[in-house]
Amino acid sequence: MSSIKIRTDLALEARENMEENAEECRGVYVEEEYHEESEIKVTRVVIETKNGSRAMGKPVGVYVTLEAPAMALPDEDYHKEISDELAKQLKQIIPGIDGELSVIVIGLGNREVTADALGPNVVDNLTITRHMVREYGKVAYNQKRVHMISGLVPGVMAKTGMETQEIIKGVVEMTSPDVVVVIDALAARSTKRLNRTIQISNAGINPGSGVGNHRNAITEETLGVPVIAIGVPTVVDAATIVSDAFEKMMHLAGEEPLEIQDDLFTGLDELYNMYVTGKDVDYEIKQISHIICNALNTALET
């Protein structure tokens, strides 16, 4: 049992940890669906109670994960299948999507760091309609029903000097959207999931989820409107990589290394400021941005 804090932003992985480490937990429901032909696996984790939330280290909410092994590989037809499945799931989770919504889509992350540029990439290429509808009415789109879509790339605190939450809150109060969609690059627990998994959730973004600091939360609670989060694990913490290798080795050696482990990681503090990415990160981020952008355009079409 590892004594270092392993960070994961995926409910799927939080649940895997639970299965290994603890008895079955109440208030957490899981459904799985596997599309034989497209090899897309959809997992729906619903955390219903505070107990469940505590056990999972994640807020109450619905977490849907799409896993597809070839997500980032070059195959445009396959990307369309994933993007259609994602659109379907988005339509189920975005409240009021059958009516007319004002939706703001927010791309979190630093556009100058390849693995973190997912959110900005998606918003840069999204179909934006709010200004047209406000200026010309629905006629601009020859339609009776149109969602008003706006987009924002707030930047990261190191470059803005502001909490991302401050920026978003200000813009939300000024423009009064019905729903906020945030897109973010996540840290995964396992290298196998890098750029192969998309998670959508109505629990919003909770930095340090459950572990304290909610100052930066981007959630219905903090913004006053429903927040749908779309996340893709694009990095693994360096500390996680080391811890994994360490556990694997101990397992092979059949040893119980509990007493030395804390010392070990004490000396490896710097690992918490480093992250690990695959060598094709630029290509893979581009592919997945494209998938998410198309899914949002499809889901928000009327």
List residues binding a copy of itself (CB under 8 A): 74, 110, 112-114, 123-124, 127-132, 148-153, 155, 157-163, 166-167, 169-175, 191, 236, 238, 241-242, 245-246, 248-249, 252-253, 257, 260-261, 263-264, 267-268, 270-271, 273-283
DSSP H/E element including 15: helix 11-21
Single out the residue of 249, 277, 229, 197 nearest to residue 59, CA to CA: 229
Q: Which is nearer to a copy of itself, 225 or 238 (CB)?
A: 238
Q: Which is nearer to a copy of itself, 1 or 158 (CB)?
A: 158
Least Å distance, CB 162 to a copy of itself, is 5
Q: CB of 237 within 8 A of CB of 7?
A: yes
Q: CB of 295 within 8 A of CB of 90?
A: yes
Q: Which is nearer to a copy of itself, 212 or 267 (CB)?
A: 267
Q: Which is nearer to a copy of itself, 139 or 249 (CB)?
A: 249
Least Å distance, CB 1 to a copy of itself, is 16
> Where does residue 216 rank: exposed (0-12), middle (13-18), buried (19+ CB within 10 A)?
middle
**Hey, is 20 helix, strand or coil?**
helix
Least Å distance, CB 296 to a copy of itself, is 13
Q: Which is nearer to a copy of itself, 52 or 120 (CB)?
A: 120
Least Å distance, CB 169 to a copy of itself, is 6
The DSSP annotation for 107-173 comes to E-S-TTSGGG-HHHHHHHTS---HHHHHHH-GGGGT-S---EEEEE----HHHHSS-HHHHHHHHHH
DSSP label at residue 302: -
Q: Tell me how far apart the alpha carbons of residues 118 and 194 are, in angstroms, rounded to a whole number.
A: 13
Q: Which is nearer to a copy of itself, 78 or 283 (CB)?
A: 283
27: its two tokens: 């208030």
Q: Which is nearer to a copy of itself, 89 or 114 (CB)?
A: 114
Least Å distance, CB 130 to a copy of itself, is 3
Own/partner contacts of 208-215, CB < 8 Å, gap of 24 or more, are 209/9, 209/57, 209/58, 209/59, 210/53, 210/54, 210/56, 210/57, 210/58, 210/59, 211/57, 215/163, 215/165
Least Å distance, CB 290 to a copy of itself, is 10
Q: Tell me how far apart the alpha carbons of residues 262 and 232 are, in angstroms, rounded to a whole number.
A: 30
Least Å distance, CB 71 to a copy of itself, is 16
